[in-house]
Chain A
């Protein structure tokens, strides 16, 4: 969870006085440090697995998502049916994996919207300061005043259901966070001596912005992007759980969990195992983001 005042504290801190190693050496040292964190590695591996299985589900399952086998309906989890089977004998594990691309696509769209709009707002706001800054930050305040899920709900009401409207709705909801983080980073970097040096050397503001400010302020934004990927996944899964996602028989994670809810008494695995699958993904993303944050500090 990123907090503004926490970041402001960092902004106030004097820049650390140390010898600056080359970027390559820095990266290698960081990677070595990360390799020594087993939980971090597990988290990365899990995210990697989910992404790979979303694009090539056949690597991990031989069944089809819509193959019905009435004779093996409502099986509890076992070898061959890792997550059990549903009312029509469809393998749940397969359905979860085939549901991944929908949710991952929605997450990527949401993040793309948030990053593009948030970065633009933040850079313009931090860079031009003055009236533009005050105005844009009030806009962000208004966006923040509408709780995220409700803003998403009104967008879904207006645009209709489906993966894309849900993705747009969630994306708009996380724009303010990106805008604020980018702004505070741009404000911090703008006052650093090398920006002044570049200006004194005759570089135009545009060039300074593109070559000096942006490359040096995207770090915290990237960390926030990983964190918000987790937030977006929860939001997207929640919206499809509430019934606003892709139309059946295609099933996003949230839809699967909502469907399984009706059989909770007899077959808990139908909703709880897909739920755990999602929860572990969010947990992994949050852990990755947190570790990266500690590293960049």
Chain B
């Protein structure tokens, strides 16, 4: 068991380090002229500087050092929670993110909880009802929910519930009412993803012999569905918790932009627009850390729910691919 835990934790750290390195490589090696990129972000024209000023700027951004030195500098900083200074706003990135992360955390956590409840409920009902048309309709619903682009869902909600009915504010971060539509927008996607996995898992579980046994010994259908089927069907779905959380985090980029909320997602959008490289690097690293951490927690908790898992070699968690947009 100790070996299992140590192995998982080591793997998580390595993946996180590699994710940081990859992002660093994309941001610092891909641009043909990183100097120009960073000057543009700082709002300075490269042509307007003389050679001396250019050298001073280069020194300021650390671009006069070798790429390795820059890499070690950034890596050491990240380990200590220092992500450098924002190029466009001239304040420490950690401060910038610190101001905004509360809003995003609130949004993401609420959305994750709502989608867990909604997704499980949908899967539960979709596999429990007997009337076939309703059953088919409910089990097709997740595919529908996962197909709508989030900006479309968000705009539709704004148009309908803010402008037509006037129930919720269309923008802003004031009060609980402003949280409802962003949470719904994210949950439409994430609960659909969860429900799809759960329904599939339910269908497989309900075909198991122990379900027949439970029914044969006289348990009611609802008791079997809840106590026997649901608990076993939910196990494989646990592995996509990381994906669900990852989705709620990335969804915040589009959702915060549409609903004009002051969060890290909108910070990411603004930073890409102003090509503020240190901020982008920080946001991507933090998002990857959240994803890796959730997967690590799931991996560590999984054996508690399913003791078989430590006896066999554990596979990497199954990811819902392609939908992590």
CB contact between A242 and one of B236, B253, B316, B324 (< 8 Å): that residue: B253
A153 sits at the interface (CB 8 A): yes
**Residue B322 lies at the interface, judged by CB distance under 8 Å to chain A:** yes
- Let me know if A149 and B325 touch, CB within 8 A: yes
Q: Are B19 and A142 touching (Cβ within 8 A)?
A: yes
**Which residues 224-279 in A have Cβ within 8 Å of B in the complex?**
224, 227-228, 230-231, 234-235, 237-238, 241-244, 254, 257-258, 261, 264-265, 268, 271-272, 275-276, 278-279
- Complex Cα gap A30–B15 (Å): 43
Contacts of A147 in B (CB 8 A): 246-247, 249-250, 287-288, 291, 324
Known: A3-B200, A153-B272, A238-B254. A275 touches B319 (CB 8 A): no
Tell me whether A275 and B156 are in contact in the complex, defined as CB-CB below 8 angstroms, given that A145-B288, A146-B287, A150-B268 are known contacts. yes
Is B173 on the interface with A (CB-CB < 8 A)? no
> Given the complex, which residues of B lie within 8 Å of A254, measured CB to CB?
151
Asked if A5 and B318 make an inter-chain contact with CB atoms under 8 angstroms apart, the answer reads yes
140-184 of chain A: CB within 8 A of chain B: 141-151, 153-159, 173-174, 176-177, 180-181
CA distance A234 to B272 in the complex (A): 19
B167 close to A (CB within 8 Å): no
Q: Given A144-B319, A157-B280, A272-B159, A238–B151 Cβ distance below 8 Å?
A: yes
**A290 proximal to B (CB < 8 A):** yes
Identify the A interface with B (CB < 8 A): 1-6, 8-9, 137-138, 141-151, 153-159, 173-174, 176-177, 180-181, 224, 227-228, 230-231, 234-235, 237-238, 241-244, 254, 257-258, 261, 264-265, 268, 271-272, 275-276, 278-279, 282-283, 286-287, 290
Given contact pairs A4-B318, A238-B149, a sample of 9 additional A-B residue pairs in the complex whose CB atoms are under 8 Å apart: A1-B197, A5-B239, A145-B16, A145-B19, A231-B322, A235-B325, A258-B151, A275-B149, A279-B148
**A-B residue pairs in contact (CB < 8 Å), sample of 24:** A3-B320, A6-B318, A142-B15, A147-B249, A149-B254, A150-B253, A153-B253, A153-B284, A154-B284, A155-B26, A158-B27, A227-B322, A228-B322, A238-B151, A242-B253, A244-B272, A244-B273, A258-B151, A264-B158, A264-B159, A272-B156, A278-B152, A282-B148, A286-B146
